[in-house]
């Protein structure tokens, strides 16, 4: 994600040095809020982690609320940008969903703080919280429907299917990315791909 757009209105950096400083502040905010939560986290804690003066914070952000809102959007964008290349390079849609989940689990393992930050956004910044999930589901729905039109998936792919896949991925990331990251991520992705391709009902059962 282009971190330049994360700054408060009118405070966008114009130099490469400024963009690096803004990126450092966002990364430091992820550590601060990930460790302490929004309410206990502080601007001074963010600047200390970023290695910049306290006044530098206000060069880019108006408040703690402002950087938290920017951080939620930034982390959501990082997930999107991490997963997108894997989706594009896959041979078919089942393979794409497998690759997307694999990259998501790997991302979560490297950024475990994302769950605490996104969860707190429900109460600190409900608009960003809702946008994170709604936008993700919209992207999934669009690619499922496109795959259906190509004949790679059954017809009737809908918002329900998109939210179901997203919900599954979110909780798999929590279980196998945050709580315990010892499970082989490839094996997790393989099992989910099989689930998507074949379902869980026995052949000939109701609903198959």
Q: Which pLDDT tens digit goes with each residue over 153-175?
A: 999 999 999 999 999 999 999 99
Q: Report the chain's terminal Cα–Cα distance, integer Å.
A: 40
For residue 2, pLDDT over 70 is answered with: no
Give the count of beta carbons closer than 10 Å to the beta carbon of residue 35: 13
When divided into structural domains, the chain yields a total of: 1
Residue 7 lies in a domain: yes
Q: Which of 163, 136, 147, 158 lies closest to 81 in space, CA to CA?
A: 136
Residue 207 lies in a domain: no
Give the count of beta carbons closer than 10 Å to the beta carbon of residue 40: 10
What is the pLDDT at residue 206?
A: 58
Residue 205 lies in a domain: no
* 112 neighbors 106 (Cβ within 8 angstroms): no
Q: Tell me the C-alpha distance between 134 and 32, whole Å.
A: 26
For residue 208, pLDDT over 50 is answered with: no
- pTM for the whole thing? 0.91
Range of the domain at 114: 3-198
For residue 102, pLDDT over 80 is answered with: yes
CATH code where residue 96 lies: 1.10.357.10
Q: Which residues of 80-114 are buried (b: 16+ CB within 10 A; e: fewer)?
A: eebbeebbeeeeebbbbbbbbbbbbbbbbeebbbb
Q: Mind listing the pLDDT tens digit for each residue in 45-54?
A: 999 999 999 9
Residue 40 lies in a domain: yes
* Confidence class for position 61, pLDDT limits 50, 70, 90: very high
Residue 208 lies in a domain: no
Q: Round the average pLDDT of the chain to a whole number and report it.
A: 94
What is the pLDDT at residue 204?
A: 62
What is the pLDDT at residue 8?
A: 86
For residue 207, pLDDT over 80 is answered with: no
What is the pLDDT at residue 201?
A: 86
For residue 127, pLDDT over 80 is answered with: yes
């Amino acid at each position: 994600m282009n971190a330049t757009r994360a700054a408060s209105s009118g405070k966008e950096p114009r130099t490469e040095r400024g963009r690096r400083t803004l990126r450092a502040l966002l990364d430091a905010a992820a550590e601060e809020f990930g460790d302490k939560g929004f309410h206990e986290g502080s601007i001074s804690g963010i600047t200390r982690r970023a290695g910049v003066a306290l006044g530098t914070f206000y060069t880019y952000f108006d408040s703690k609320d402002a950087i938290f809102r920017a951080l939620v959007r930034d982390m959501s964008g990082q997930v999107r940008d991490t997963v997108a290349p894997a989706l594009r390079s896959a041979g078919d849609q089942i393979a794409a969903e497998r690759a997307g989940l694999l990259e998501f689990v790997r991302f979560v393992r490297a950024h475990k703080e994302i769950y605490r930050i996104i969860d707190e956004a429900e109460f600190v910044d409900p608009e960003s919280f809702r946008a994170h999930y709604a936008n993700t589901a919209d992207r999934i729905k669009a690619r499922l429907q496109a795959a259906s039109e190509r004949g790679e998936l059954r017809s009737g792919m809908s918002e329900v299917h998109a939210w179901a896949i997203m919900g599954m991925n979110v909780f798999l990331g929590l279980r196998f990315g945050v709580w315990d990251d010892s499970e082989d991520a490839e094996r997790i992705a393989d099992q989910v791909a099989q689930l998507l391709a074949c379902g869980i009902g026995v052949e000939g059962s109701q609903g198959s």
